[in-house]
Every structure is written in structure tokens, then in C-alpha cells.
Amino acid sequence: MRGSLNLFKVLGIPIRLHVSWFLIAVLITWSLAGGYFPMEYPGWSAATYWLVGAVASVLFFASVLIHELGHSVLALREKVPVKSITLFIFGGVAQIGREPPTAGAEFRIAIAGPLSSLGLAAFFGGLGAVLADNAVLAAPLAYLGRINLLLAAFNMIPGFPLDGGRVLRAGLWAWRDSYQQATMWASRAGRAVAYGFILFGAAQILLGGGFLNGLWIAFIGWFLNNAAESSYQQVLLRDMLSGVKASSVMTQECARVPGGLGVEQLIEEHVLAGGQRCFFVGDNGTMQGMITLQDLRSVPRGQRQGLTTEQVMTRLDGVLRVRPDDDVWRVLQLMDEHDVNQVPVMDGGSFLGMITRERLLHDIRLRAELGV
């Protein structure tokens, strides 16, 4: 989801808008103003069609946002962190920090979205019926009632990672008591659904059912197939790293530098010349903090002159750290949640080593090649 704009926060969750959203927003507004509303409500002016189309488009994406907030509120209640909600070309996605802890939690989080859409369908449909005498007001409300009903139905298709696929996984998880097996079968169902979309889209294109419509359906199938496969690969990765301790993948690659070292000198002699990416700052054997490339990037180039490592470091009490016996899968989750590329391994106040994302990826590749 790179290329997203931060809009605002709801319940502490950042709401973002991906650049691809602008394309689909324009297409939906155009299709409503140029096709759907003129066919359903003839006789309006062109300006009215475009105004009603734009309002309906905005409220549609607001509905998608509420759908994702439904998932997010339940996730927070189940103590599952939510990193962000992003609106993009395929609708919306809530990015959670980790998978639900139980099958029951998975079910509750998954079903919350479709239930939110059903609630919106009833609300918009009812309000549209009340305002039926005013066609300009009733038209977008009737459309939103139907589209939210379709949104709930579409998401309940039993193919992972759609909500229905997550409900299916929750059921299989509770039945077989195996998260991996449940994810495998739910992902297979998701891929079968995805191939069905792709084939249907291709048939639409080849049989004259509408080139753009067929292309869009096939594109949705392609996206679902990739998401289902990626979800299962993530489970395999979790199982691969389960039981592997942080101490087994840590390195000693984080150099120590004095607190009075100039930032420009650090960059020239240690980063550019030495290829080092992180440093512990300390004097007389006492560690005060840590500097990463992210810390250095946060200082504008023109302001680095005269600054020392002590002035730009992150103090030790604010550094994310892990213990040597922590599970590597949990370490990887923490790195993703906090958006860091390295984390120190510490036992009490003693520094034992450093885990870097590069080192983790290298270890994962080796384990995959060796089948361990």
C-alpha cells in the first residue's frame, strides 16, 4: 500500500487513501452519472446526474470504510492491533498487526464487516423509501441500499481472503483444531473462487459480454488469487519460524560509536565507506542509545553539520528490543508493527546481538531450501 495519503484517524486507526482510489472513484462516478441514473431516472439535467453520481460514489466509499471499521472494532476488542485502513482500487483493506488468537475471534472479526454492510443496506434502503417522493434524494439512497447488500453478499463468498473465506477458516479451525490446515483449505477455496472470476471475466471478453466488465472481473480474480496464495505462504512462514529463538538468528553487526562523533563523519566513514546500517552510541562502556539509517534520514542534509550522534540517536529506553528466547515469528511481527528494519537482542541491560530484516530473510531462504 505504498503511495497512500493519510487522511485522518478513527479510534486511533490511520485512515489512508491509495492513489489507485482516484481512478476507481472517477470510473464509478462516470458510470453512475452517464449510465445508471439516466436509465433509472430519465429527464434530469446533466449537472444533476453528475452531482447525484458524485454523492453516491463518495457515500459508497464511506460504506466501504464503515465495513472495514466493523472488522477493526472487533479486532481491537479481541486485542488484535489494527495498523491502518486503506481505501484503494478494490475497495478497502484493514491491515491488522497479527492474526486472531482463536477460531472464535476469527469468526467475530470476519462477520463484523458483512453485518455492518447489511446494517447500512437497511439504513439507506429505509431512508430512500421515506424520501421516495424526492427522486433526487431517493436515487442515491436506493442505490446505496442495493450496493451495500451486494457488498455483504460478495464478501460472504467462501473464498479466502474474503470475509466468507475467513468465516470458513474459523469453522475449519474450530473443527480440526489446526490453524495451518484451516488456512490451507480456506486458501484453496479462495483460489478456486479466484479462478472462477478469471474464467468468467475471460468469457465476458470473448463472448461479447462487455470487454471492460470482463477485464475488471478477471482482474478481481487475479487479485484474490494472489491474496489467497500469499496468506497461505504467510502461515507456512509462521510454522517455519515457530520455535526458532532470536538468539539463533542474531548477529554482532551493530557497531559502537562515541556520543560525540559528528553525524557527517559517521555517514562518511561508517555508513558509506563501511556499509554499516546501525550503531550503538555510548561512552566508557555505557550504552546510551541507538542510531539507524531511519534516524539519519530524519535529519535534513543541510542540518547535519555540527550535530553529534548523541543528538540524533534514539535513547535506549525508547528502542524496541527483544529477549534471546523470544520466538523469531513474534520478532518479525514486532518489526512489522513498529516499521523497523533491525532490533537489538538484550538480556536485561546487556546487549547480545542484533536481528536485521536482511539477516532474517537470508535465514528464511536457507530454511526453505533445506526444508527445515
Return the pLDDT at 116. Answer: 94
To the question of domain 246-370 being in CATH 1.10.260.40, the answer is no
Which cell numbers hold the place of 201? 471475466
Give the per-residue pLDDT at 2.
62
Question: Which residue's entry shows cell 472495514?
Answer: 68
Provide the pLDDT for residue 349.
64
- Sign of the torsion formed by the C-alpha atoms of 150, 154, 156 and 162: negative
Cell numbers linked to 324 = 534471546
The catalytic residue positions are 68
The predicted pLDDT at position 371 comes to: 61
pLDDT number for residue 253: 62
- Phi then psi for residue 249, to 5 deg, are -120, 5
Q: Which long-range contacts (CB under 8 A, 24 or more apart) does 15-19 make?
A: 15/65, 15/84, 15/85, 15/86, 15/87, 16/84, 16/85, 16/86, 16/87, 17/86, 17/87, 18/86, 18/87, 18/88, 18/89
Q: What is the pLDDT of residue 284?
A: 64
Task: Using only the alpha carbons of the chain, give its radius of gyration.
Answer: 26
Collect all residues with Cβ–Cβ distance below 8 Å to 192 and sequence separation of at least 6.
159
Report the distance separating Cα 84 and Cα 339, nearest Å. 13
Quote the pTM value: 0.73
pLDDT, position 89 = 76
**Helices 328-338, 211-241: crossing angle, 10 deg rounding:** 130
Splitting the chain (372 residues) into consecutive groups of 10 residues, what average pLDDT does each group show? 76 87 87 87 90 92 92 91 83 81 92 94 93 88 93 89 90 88 87 90 81 82 85 77 77 72 78 73 70 77 77 74 80 76 74 75 74 60
Residue extents of the structural domains in the chain:
4-156, 177-241, 246-370
Residue (of 229, 209, 345, 218) closest to 290 by Cα position: 345
* Cβ atoms 225, 193 nearer than 8 A: no
What lies within 8 Å, CB to CB, of 120 at 6+ separation is: 63, 66, 67, 144, 148
